[in-house]
């Protein structure tokens, strides 16, 4: 199915025209459906548009549940922080103090990785390991942690940032061991119930109770045609990472409001301590500079942006899973938040939607200034080479007067991407696709004595140089 269309006079998003904007946005971005919710000035506004499942034609409504992907990581972090509030977990103790059987391929790193480093992505564990657990029974989260024993380090523990899915499986297992219950039960009892998130599930067996969106993926390399994936959700073993949870956009706003309101639920009851709420939003590490508009930092679970214009800070997390993309952003100083849920594998759509909402809700202009010139190849020839992690293989070459990169996605259901790299500053580049659209930011890191970078930072992940 294709839903490509033309929007004659695209709307400028405002809270007042949210439904009309949603109706147009699914056509503009060619996505099956979306559900959005905004909290601003003490008022909740919602909208939904499109089709939840192209095979059945079920209409999207605001009470429909969509898989939220990696926004789940913030929720897993909250489950850990509740244990911190209770004095049962110390963030700066090694993980092995709580999980005796935790092990990665590097024995020294195994003994030193702390709980905090799991939650702020400075642990160094190669994070994009997605084993096929279909057909297996038992505790698949525990099984996943057992299988981490072969995962290598991508950087020395605590020295750099690299987004690690595997680390949050370990954090989810820590919750299970300390609570004496499954992570799925902990999500229900310690998060959904106290926050009144009645349209939320962690265990996909519960999806039949709700009006549920199906994910949609590209039909091979045809990015204009949608098909349903073979499986409705990914491995239960990676649930703490975001493979299974689904909820309505309004329920995500309930979660965001608890973080805006010092850990209180909507009945004024304490759910998470103010200290833990604050600590989750304290910078743990500044990320490599990918934007001229501001800086990015890692908190505990949360990602954070500080924009130079107005010195506005946002706290948030995105998600991408089996045919879904999502975004949750909180603007603490404005007591505002928004949630976007979509059921199509189109990264450009969630990027464009997020920019529109940050403008409408937060007053932010996210138009990046264009690079002043193309790459000075003579000075940057040492950048060329191949960089690889479990998720992607990036080949950087020079062609004529251009620096090019080919990105091969080894896990995500996305076609290979060829981009031109245009120099922004230092070793930071803007990547442009074949249509001339700016689509990525790539930073080369840790040049050796000869000036040859040892890493590429792409999408939050480090790709070590392999040749």
Written as six digits, the tokens of 112 are 């030193």
Q: Is 70 a catalytic residue?
A: yes
Active-site pick, 14, 35, 70, 276: 70
Helix (H, G, I), strand (E, B) or coil at 169: helix
DSSP 291: -
Task: Tell me the C-alpha distance between 428 and 178, whole Å.
Answer: 42
| Sequence-separated contacts (24+) of 453-460 with Cβ below 8 Å | 453/382, 453/383, 453/427, 455/155, 455/160, 455/387, 456/387, 456/394, 456/396, 457/287, 457/288, 457/290, 458/392, 458/394, 458/407, 459/163, 459/392, 460/121, 460/161, 460/162, 460/163, 460/287
DSSP collapsed to 3 states, 10-59:
CCCCCHHHHHHHHHHHHHHCCCCEEEEEEEECCEEEEEEEEEEECCCCEE
Given a contact cutoff of 8 angstroms between Cβ atoms, the answer to whether 32 and 3 are in contact is yes
Task: Tell me the C-alpha distance between 408 and 242, whole Å.
Answer: 23
Nearest to 48 by CA among 362, 38, 75: 38
The order of strands in the sheet holding 285-286 is 58-59, 43-53, 33-40, 336-342, 324-331, 312-321, 303-307, 294-298, 285-286
Helix (H, G, I), strand (E, B) or coil at 330: strand
Nearest to 457 by CA among 415, 418, 426, 416: 426
Written as six digits, the tokens of 352 are 């464009």
Task: Tell me the C-alpha distance between 351 and 343, whole Å.
Answer: 14
Phi, psi torsion values for 103, nearest 5 degrees: -160, 135
Given a contact cutoff of 8 angstroms between Cβ atoms, the answer to whether 80 and 95 are in contact is no
**DSSP secondary structure string, 210-279?**
S-BPPP-EEETTEEEEEE--SSSS--GGGTTTTSS-EE-HHHHHHHHHHHHTTTB-TTS-BSS-HHHHHH
Q: Which helix (H) or strand (E) holds 75?
A: helix 72-85
Phi, psi torsion values for 181, nearest 5 degrees: -150, 170
How deeply is 34 buried, as exposed, middle or buried, from its count of CB atoms within 10 A (0-12, 13-18, 19+)? Answer: buried
Residues with a known catalytic role: 70
């Amino acid at each position: 199915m294709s839903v490509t269309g033309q929007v004659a006079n695209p709307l400028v998003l405002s809270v007042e025209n949210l439904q009309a904007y949603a109706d147009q946005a699914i056509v503009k971005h060619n996505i099956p459906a979306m559900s959005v919710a905004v909290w601003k000035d003490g008022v909740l506004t919602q909208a939904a548009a499109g089709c939840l499942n192209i095979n059945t034609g079920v209409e999207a409504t605001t009470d429909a549940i969509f898989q939220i992907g990696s926004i789940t990581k913030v929720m897993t972090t909250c489950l850990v922080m509740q244990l911190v509030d209770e004095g049962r977990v110390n963030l700066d103790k090694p993980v092995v103090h709580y999980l005796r059987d935790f092990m990665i391929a590097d024995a020294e790193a195994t003994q030193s990785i702390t709980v905090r480093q799991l939650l702020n992505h400075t642990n160094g564990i190669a994070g994009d390991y997605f084993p096929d657990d279909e057909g297996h029974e038992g505790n698949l989260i525990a099984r996943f942690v057992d299988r981490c024993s072969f995962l290598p380090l991508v950087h020395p523990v605590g020295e750099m940032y690299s987004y690690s899915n595997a680390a949050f499986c370990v954090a989810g297992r820590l919750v299970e061991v300390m609570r004496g219950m499954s992570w799925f039960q902990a999500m229900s009892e310690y998060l959904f119930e106290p926050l009144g998130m009645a349209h939320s599930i962690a265990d996909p067996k519960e999806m039949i109770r709700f009006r549920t969106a199906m994910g949609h993926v590209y039909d091979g390399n045809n990015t204009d045609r949608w098909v349903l994936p073979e499986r409705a959700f990914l491995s239960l073993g990676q649930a703490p990472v975001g493979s299974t949870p689904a909820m309505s956009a309004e329920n995500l706003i309930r979660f965001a409001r608890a973080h805006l309101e010092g850990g209180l639920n909507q009945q004024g009851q304490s759910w998470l301590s103010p200290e833990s709420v604050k600590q989750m939003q304290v910078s743990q590490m500044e990320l490599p500079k990918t934007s001229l508009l501001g800086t990015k930092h890692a908190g505990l679970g949360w990602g954070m942006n500080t924009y130079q214009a107005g010195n506005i800070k946002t706290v948030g997390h995105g998600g991408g899973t089996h045919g879904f993309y999502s975004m949750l952003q909180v603007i603490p100083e404005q007591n505002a938040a928004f949630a976007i849920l979509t059921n199509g594998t189109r990264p450009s759509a969630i990027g464009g939607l997020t920019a529109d909402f940050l403008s409408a809700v937060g007053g932010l202009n996210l138009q990046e200034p264009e690079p002043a010139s193309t790459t000075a190849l003579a000075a940057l020839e040492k950048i060329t080479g191949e960089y690889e992690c479990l998720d992607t293989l990036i080949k950087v070459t020079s062609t004529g007067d251009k620096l090019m990169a080919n990105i091969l996605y080894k896990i995500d259901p996305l076609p290979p991407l060829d981009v031109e790299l245009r120099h922004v500053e230092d070793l930071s580049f803007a990547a442009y696709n074949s249509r001339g659209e700016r689509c990525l930011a790539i930073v080369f890191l840790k040049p050796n004595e000869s000036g040859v970078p040892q890493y590429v930072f792409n999408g939050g992940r480090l790709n070590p140089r392999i040749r």
